[in-house]
Amino acid sequence: MNILVCVKRVPAPGARIVLTDDRQDIDTRHLGFTTSPHEECAVEAAVQLRERHGGTATVLTLGPPEAVEQLRYSVSVGADQVVLVPADTTELDPQATAAALVDAITELESGAPFDLILFGNESADSGGYQVGIRVARALGRPVISGLKGIEIDGDEMVGRRETDEGFEVYRLPLPAVAAAKEGITLPRYPTLPGRLKSRRAQITEVAVEFSSGGQEMVHLLKPTEEVTETVILGHGAEAAPQVVRLLEEVGLL
Amino acid sequence: MNFPTSAHVIVIGAGIAGNSVVGHLAELGWKNIVQIDKGPLPNPGGSTGHASNFCFPVDHSKEMTLLTLDSTRQYDEMGVMVVSGGIEVARTSERMEELRRRMTSATAWGVESHLISPDEVLELVPFINRDVIVGGFYSPGVTVVDSLRAGTIMRERAQARDALTVLPNTEILGMEVRNGAIHAVMTDKGRIETDYLVIACGVWSPRIARMAGATIPLTPAVHQMIDVGPIPVLQQTRSEIGYPIVRDMDTYMYERQTAGSMEVGSYAHRPIFHHPDEIPSLGESLLSPTELPFTDEDFDLQMEHALELMPEILSQAEIRYAINGLLSLTPDAMPLLGETVEVKNLWSAAAVWIKEGPGVGKMIAEWMTQGYPEIDPHSSDIARFYRFARAEHHILARCSEHFNKTYGIVHPREQWESNRRVRTVPAYPRQVELGAVFYEVGGWERPQWYEVNAPLVEHYGVKGRDHEWDARWWSPIINAEHLAMREKVGMVDLTAFAIFDITGPGVVDYIQKMAVNQCDVAVGRAVYTPLLTDTGGFRADLTILRLGEHHYRVISGGGDGARDRYWFRKHLPTDGSVTFVDNTSAVSTIGLWGPNARRVIESLTRDDVSNEGFPYGSVREVNLQGIDALMFRISYVGELGWEISVPMEQGLRLWDMLWEAGQDWGVVPVGIGVYGTTGRLEKGYRLMGAELESDYNPVEAGLARPKVKKADFIGKGPYLEARKEDPATILCTLTVEDHTSASGMERYMGGNEPILTADGERIVDSHGRPSYVTTAGNGPSVGKYLLLAYLPPAHAVVGRELAVMYMNELYPVKVAIAGSTPLFDPQNARMKC
Amino acid sequence: MSLILVFLDNDRGALSPSGPEALTPALELAETLGARLETVTVGEPGHAGLQQLGLAGHVVSHPILTDYAPEAYGEALAQLADHTGASVLMTLGDDRGAEVMAHVAAVLNEPLVANVTEITDASGGIEGAWEMIRVRWGGSLLERARLRSARKLLTIAPHTFEPPESALGNPTAASTFAPDLADHLARTRVVERVRLAEGLTLATAPVVVSGGRGVGSAENFAILEELADLIGGVVGCSRVATNNGWRPHSDQVGQTGTRIAPDLYIACGISGAVQHWVGCMASKQILAINTDPEAPLVTKADYAVIGDLHEVLAALISEIRSRK
């Protein structure tokens, strides 16, 4: 069972996102970076599948050289191999991103396809909701998004997707592609030995050519914040009667 | 609540420092206190919020140990403390030696501690890898405190006294200074006028101080820590902390249980500094402004070290939390306390760690209330820094240098390497040629000894030191220079002296108010005098020269010059009747001492420099080959001679002149090793910051004169009280009777070691002050190794046999002098001839 | 006349209730650009949903399309777009809409702008370059994006537009479109549905009592459960609570958890990082309970109680009990 997970390095903002002066990016001077949360869960899912079925879990990212940090993190939580597809921009449109990934994956596979390629359902920052599907289509493989559960059953991947009533089940023949949602697994934290191992991990680099897509970012902007006049119902336990009144108004009591 | 428009005192910051200051000010009766923090309560997002909250009481510094012990007592009283115990483990024999030195400090300051074997370490902390440790230093009194809770309690107590208004979520935008004093602060919610202001803003302090034009010299720096868990053996303790905290000294790390997981912290990574203006706001931070993203590449080696020490429990657990936590570092690793030198009534309580927080709060409150705190703030006083040392360049250079020494083995005489040669004397090039080994004081490069004098070691048969530690930052040449000076004549460069010229119609009254001894003396006379605190302890120790009817010159040591400058300026009358000029940078001084000193001078001048014409204690202008030199007949080494001052640009000329004229009389260049230690010790002269501290008075130090002058002076009341009583302690000179250690090597103590009874019992006076070595050093002319120490009257008896502890071993000592009589030349005949 | 196609999803015959939100901006566009607006859904001919809206519609039908099958849906809609010569194809950016549209975009090899909130500049005409605002970071940040392709594919950010009132014009009979679909496209069709026990869910509960870092432990959520039970709601949590293992991910409200819009959202000890805020911002009323009056969620909430959540909830529960 050879699995590939494609992840994206994204900033980890607090409650307030600050833009750079040219509005082309968010100000990350004080921010750490992380793997986009859906993808973090996808990595965990891959590691768990590898633990259950053998094989390898490979993590790939397309991004700046600093994205090696996210690759090493993946190793520290169990990935076997990591691949960097160097890109000098973080603003590649989804079409171009998918095309670059297809080239990189094709080169990596060189005739031996991954049994499963996992993506996150959407990236935390740009949220295009499409890269995994475009890649799967280009590779001619079945793909399903939004998975909250994933299992391997013989030569099929069984995926679960949440609905209002419960869940839907999909069965895709391998090799397949899937986009995971957070909650598909609870990602583990790295151990000290894991972290140390990750420092020594070999980073494979796959260089690809980038095309440009039809969508481009002009600039970022902050949504107009609704100014809410917060009504303070009280302090501590004394506020209880006021809260009860609110519950009554809303019709809950 | 209405936004206040005025306050008696504003305290900015609601971390451990600000909360402690607020609590203690209220306790001392202050009202109308307003406390402001930009962040929310109880955790406004500063360093207190992510602190590890453990307190190791033992420090080589008495001041720091006293602050920590006082803080521990306060945490205990507030009920926010758990005693966990703590072990500093050693991986090397060098560290074991350092732990023995720590045992010595623990004994000196009265903190229970034990040196323990690896097996004993394992009994306390079974999951340590026995293979990597060689022993440990166990302090059962190590505690873990809830610093946020303590802060809340102190605020609440102040509020219960109706003394405090707290304004969280309020940002300081600016400050108003009027007539050199703080007047008001502007916040995002309004303006508040105030009489006093205390900046207790941790890493933001420099930024806030700058708004008033003041400097608080610190830099925010990263301390990395990770939380590793869950760990079953820790979970089983079912407590926040069930095992002693472990400091892995040789890897500069600690491991501290937090409930079911282990916090691993480090001071081993590269120094990582942030600028106070560049710290993100609460809203912009993922965790808090002082919990910055972890840079894991800086922690790799530390992880390996942690795994080495505790492989059993750390290899399986997960890293749950990892931060680059910000804390405050200062150029000399001590806090920044007291009134800022730039703005009156603007105080600093910055660079304060959890372990000393409440003690600092008490110190600042006492200082603001009584004029001086109970614990001498000598090493923490923000006024200690000269201007150059307040600059970012210096701060970053020194902090880079000492960050990794946080758990390091730092020799007490160790010199800084960074940002040196900031202040050099005119004769510096000559001194370099003579092989001077430079030590730094107040930025000045001062020769400690001269390698050119190496042949004198053999000539005088000076003994070296067996042990590398004792010989480190020391040379037998010092003793040889000493003997040469006593035999012939020596030149000591004293340009590092702080020189203040104080003039004006009100100057006599002013100087009289500042100094203990009678300063209304004839023009041309000099007075050696202590300055006291309002509470009657030593504040300074210096000489005052009356150069004119309305002109005094104050000469103080380079080490204390900045603090003394602050003290003099603080007390200047506001009516303009006294003018203060700091002429330190305008005057070069060379001391010439020894039996041949007069002959050297005579060869350079026709002026009368005889004992009758130029008696001891007088000041004259003397023309030395065309140069008008101010000569002051005094000696700190007990020999005939002068301190000779000239304008800075003639300093080199003076050096050369004395050097050439001295050749016929056997002149030697003499370093500060003689001036500051050996010469001084033989004469029993006291040094500010060593023997003279604010918790001792002139009676105890043997510096009380037969009469007290009529004029009022600062500290007079307490001084008169002290004179009425028998002293609780007496400063004595002791001799070491046998230097031989158990290993057979001769050992030489360096200062701060406890003086014990012959059978090893601690000696503590009736005020609770322990006896310890205030200065140690050779007495080459008396052939003994000398120690100064305060002893209670029962022990302050000549011939009394006691012991000194050094590196956890006892050595016999004997009281040679009780009081201030010199051991060498008790009649002072040599310098008064 | 140019054509704007709006895909309206249905689930086994039932039109998605929020799907028509996409019609509102589509109608506006049609008017500005003088284009025709038609709708499309997938399923059995004679589909009822489209007529209700009174727009010309297409029903895509094929033996494979017996249930949701994103690959086949995408292929079929792409064929319809080619067949009708539509210049714009858009739908609501919910789970399915986003997925189907991505397939369409992949098949047609066209760009797809996801989660558009506003088309700010279509002055270049229907085939010219457009500028629009789209959602980033789950809504805490926006992007002005330029779309250069002649054929425009968009998804509309959910909860951005009110759906049009029903009966927009004269009902027109839907025309059926039969795509040419390869058999293997059935491989990504729903094969099974599992219903979980009926009951309130995060998505449907009228009130959600949510806890974050301030709750402190898994055990401490008991008091939130108690309150939720009392007032007919469910318990939610922030990502911190999930990552600490205090609550299952299914309880997580947030950008990568569930996005909710209850009548009342009670946030206890949650500071309100971007990640969380975007999951709860659609709530009709928000009550924040926090020790910190300046916590971002407190300042954004309609109501707040300043204080320790354990204390406040205990008092609240006993107050409610005393009234019952």
The listed CATH number (3.40.50.1220, 3.40.50.1950, 3.40.50.300, 3.90.1150.10) that belongs to domain C207-323: 3.40.50.1220
Res. C43: pLDDT tops 90: no
Closest CA to A206 of A119, A116, A96, A81: A81
Size of interface A-C (CB pairs under 8 A): 278
Going by CATH, does the domain composed of C3-188 fall within 3.40.50.620? yes
Closest C-alpha among C305, C272, C276, C273 to residue C288: C305
- The SS3 call for residue C182 is coil
Residue of B248, B781, B162 whose CA lies nearest to B487:
B781
Residue A20 CB-half CA count within 13 A: 10
Query: What is the 3-state secondary structure of A104-164?
Result: HHHHHHCCCCCCEEEEECCCCCCCCCCHHHHHHHHHCCCEEEEEEEEEEECCEEEEEEECC
Task: Summarize the confidence of residues C127-150 as an average pLDDT.
Answer: 94
Mean pLDDT of B700-722: 96
Q: Per residue in C39-57, is it b (16+ CB within 10 Å) or e — as a string? A: bbbbbeeebebbeebbbbb
Non-local CB neighbours of B433 within 8 Å, separated by 6+ positions: none
Are the CB atoms for B682 and B503 separated by under 8 Å?
Answer: no
Q: What is the amino acid identity at position B727?
A: P
Q: How distant, in Å, are the alpha carbons of B51, B52, B113, B125, B777 from that of B85?
A: 18, 15, 10, 11, 36
| Residues of chain C found within 8 Å of residue B39, distances taken between Cβ atoms | 294
E strands present in chain A: 2-7, 9-12, 32-35, 56-63, 81-86, 116-120, 143-153, 156-162, 166-173, 176-180, 203-205, 215-221, 231-235
Quick check: C294 and B282 CB within 8 A? yes
Q: Is B223 a catalytic residue?
A: yes
- Summarised one tens digit per residue, pLDDT across range B383-421 is 999 999 999 999 999 999 999 888 889 999 999 999 999
Cβ-proximal residues to C148 (8 Å cutoff; 6+ apart), any chain: A214, A215, A216, C111, C129
Chain A CB contacts of B300 under 8 Å are 195-196, 199
Of B67-71, B91-95, B166-170, B603-607, which range is least confident?
B166-170
Q: Which residues of A touch B296 (CB under 8 A)?
A: 69, 72, 195
Q: In this complex, how many residue pairs, one in chain A and one in chain B, have their CB atoms less than 8 Å apart?
A: 68
Report the side by side order of strands in the sheet with C141-147: A215-221, C141-147, C130-136, C113-121, C152-156, C88-92, C3-7, C36-42, C57-60, C175-177
Cα B438 from Cα B446, distance rounded (Å): 5
Q: Sort residue A179 into left (φ over 0), alpha (ψ -120 to 50) or beta.
A: beta
Average pLDDT estimate for B91-106:
96
Which residue has tokens 């589909």? C47
For residue B42, is the peptide bond before it cis, meaning its omega torsion is within 30 degrees of 0?
A: yes
Which residues in A lie closer than 8 A to residue C233 (C-beta atoms)? 252
Burial class (CB in 10 A: 0-12, 13-18, 19+), B401: middle
Alpha-carbon gap: A251 to the closest alpha carbon of chain B (Å):
33
Q: Looking at B223, B269, B394, B402, which residue is catalytic?
A: B223
| A228 in any annotated domain | no
Contact (CB<8Å) B283/A69: no
CB pair distance less than 8 Å for B320 and A189: yes
- The sheet with strand B551-556 has its strands ordered as B526-532, B538-548, B551-556, B498-503, B579-582
Q: So what's the pLDDT on residue C136?
A: 94
User: Percentage of chain B surpassing pLDDT 90?
Assistant: 94
Show residues of chain C in contact with B41, CB under 8 Å. Answer: 291-292
Cβ neighbours for B257, distance < 8 A, ≥ 6 positions apart: B84, B234, B237, B240, B241, B242, B243, B245, B263
Residue from the list A217, A221, A233 with its beta carbon closest to the beta carbon of C303 = A233
* Residue B815 clears pLDDT 90, i.e. is over it: yes
pLDDT above 70 for B1: no
Inform me whether the pLDDT recorded for A29 exceeds 90.
no
Nearest to A143 among C112, C188, C274 (CB): C188
How many angstroms separate the CA of residue C172 from the nearest CA in chain A? 31
Phi, then psi, of B491 in degrees rounded to 5: -110, 125
Give B537-599 as a DSSP string. Answer: SEEEEEEEEEEETTEEEEEE-TTTHHHHHHHHHHTS-TTS--EEEE-GGGEEEEEEESTTHHH
> How far is residue A188's CA from residue A197's CA, in Å, rounded to a whole number?
16
User: Cβ separation of C101 and A130 shorter than 8 Å?
Assistant: yes
Q: Amino acid identity of B670?
A: V
Output the six-digit token pair for B194. 């105030």
Q: Is C291 in contact with B40 (Cβ distance < 8 A)?
A: yes
Question: Domain range for residue A123?
Answer: 2-205
pLDDT recorded at residue C171: 57
- Position A206 scores a pLDDT of 97
Q: Greater confidence, A170 or B168?
A: A170
Search chain A and give the residue with CA nearest C306. A235
Task: Please state, in angstroms and as integers, the Cα–Cα distance from residue A56 to each residue in A48, A59, A112, B20, B210, following that order.
Answer: 11, 10, 13, 57, 57
Residue C167 has pLDDT above 70, yes or no: no
Say how far apart CA A149 and CA A163 lie, in whole Å. Answer: 13
Residues of B in contact with C292 (CB under 8 A): 40-41
- Per-residue HEC secondary structure of B210-246 comes to HCCCCCCCCEEEEEEEEEEECCHHHHCCCCCCCCCEE
| B762 three-class SS | strand
In three-state secondary structure terms, B96 is: helix
Cβ neighbours of A192 in B, within 8 Å: 228, 303, 306-307, 314-315, 317, 319
Q: How far apart are CA B22 and CA B30, in angstroms?
A: 9
* Partner-chain residue, chosen from C110, C138, C316, that has the shortest CB–CB distance to A214: C110
Residue the block writes with tokens 């303009």 = B576
Q: By C-alpha distance, which of A241, C39, A16, C172 is closest to B284?
A: A16
Name chain B contacts of A193, Cβ cutoff 8 Å: 307, 315
Chains that touch C (3 or more CB pairs under 8 A): A, B
Identify whether A252 is part of a domain.
Answer: no
- In total, chain C counts a number of residues equal to 324
Cβ neighbours of C147 in A, within 8 Å: 214-215
**Contact C256/A236, CB-based, under 8 Å?**
no
Rounded CA gap, B568 and B561, in Å?
10
B169, C293: Cβ pair inside 8 Å? yes
Q: Is A29 on the interface with B (CB under 8 A)?
A: yes
Domain holding A105: CATH number?
3.40.50.620
The single residue of B254, B372, B428, B450 carrying the catalytic annotation is B254
Shortest CA gap C218–chain B (Å): 14
What does the pLDDT read at residue C48?
Answer: 59
User: How much is the pLDDT for A203?
Assistant: 96
C292, closest residue in chain B (CA to CA)? B40
Q: Are B302 and B225 in contact (CB under 8 A)?
A: no
Torsion, CA B214, CA B217, CA B220, CA B225, rounded to 10: -140
Closest CA to B385 of B442, B439, B423: B442
* Residue of C291, C292, C300 to mutate, interface with B, max B Cβ within 10 Å: C292
Contact C178, C72 (CB under 8 A): no
Give pLDDT, residue B612. Answer: 95
Asked whether the beta carbons of residue C273 and residue B168 sit closer than 8 angstroms, the reply is no
Distance CA B425, CA B446 (A): 8
> Which residues of chain C form CATH 3.40.50.620?
3-188
Every domain of chain C with CATH number 3.40.50.1220 lies at 207-323
Instruction: Quote the ipTM score.
Output: 0.93
List pLDDT tens digits, range A44-99: 999 999 999 999 999 999 999 999 999 999 999 999 999 999 998 767 899 999 99
Identify the pLDDT of residue B162: 96
Residue B478: both structure tokens together: 């010092």
Checking if the pLDDT of B658 tops 70, the result is yes
Q: Is there a catalytic annotation at residue B541?
A: yes
pLDDT of residue A224: 84
Mean pLDDT over B326-353 rounds to: 97
Instruction: Using the predicted structure, report yes or no on whether residue A129 has a pLDDT greater than 80.
Output: yes
Place of tokens 């050749």: B663
Structural domains of chain A, count: 1
- pTM score: 0.88
Q: Residue A228 above 80 pLDDT?
A: no
Cross-chain residue pair B283–C296, CB shorter than 8 Å: yes
What average pLDDT does the structure give for chain B?
96
Task: Tell me whether residue A133 is in a domain.
Answer: yes
Q: CB–CB of A127 and C101 under 8 A?
A: no
Domains of chain B: 6-188+219-329 (3.30.9.10), 428-494+673-678 (3.30.1360.120), 726-833 (2.40.30.110)
Nearest Cα residue to B500 out of B425, B581, B573, B405: B581
| Length reported for chain A | 253
Whether residue C312 and residue A239 make contact (CB cut-off 8 A), yes or no, is yes
- Which candidate in B146, B541, B560, B564 is catalytic? B541
Query: Token pair of C53, please?
Result: 């809206």
Residue partners of C225: CB distance under 8 A and separation at least 6: C235
CA–CA separation, B285 and C150 (whole Å): 42
Give residue B329's pLDDT: 96
User: Is residue C166's pLDDT more than 90?
Assistant: no
Q: Is the CB of C293 less than 8 angstroms away from the CB of B40?
A: yes
Nearest-CA distance from A62 to chain C in Å? Answer: 19
pLDDT, position C293? 80
Backbone dihedral angles phi then psi of residue C179, each to the nearest 5 degrees: -75, 165
Report the C-alpha gap between B810 and B386 in whole angstroms.
40
Write the residue in A18, A193, A195 that is nearest to B296 by C-beta.
Answer: A195
| Interchain pair C291, B282: CB under 8 A | no
- Per-residue burial over A26-62, b = 16 or more CB atoms within 10 Å of its CB, e = otherwise: bebebbbbbbbbbbbbbbbbbbbbbeeeebebbbbbb
Query: In which band, very low, low, confident or very high, does the pLDDT at C49 lie, cut at 50, 70 and 90?
Result: low
Dump pLDDT digits (tens) for B167-225.
988 999 999 999 999 999 999 999 999 999 999 999 999 999 999 999 999 999 999 99
- B621 beta partners: B630
pLDDT category at A31 given cuts 50, 70, 90 is confident
Report how far residue B656's alpha carbon sits from residue A143's, in angstroms, rounded to the nearest whole number: 91
d(CA C68, CA B506): 98
User: How far is the C-alpha of B122 from the C-alpha of B141, rounded, in Å?
Assistant: 18
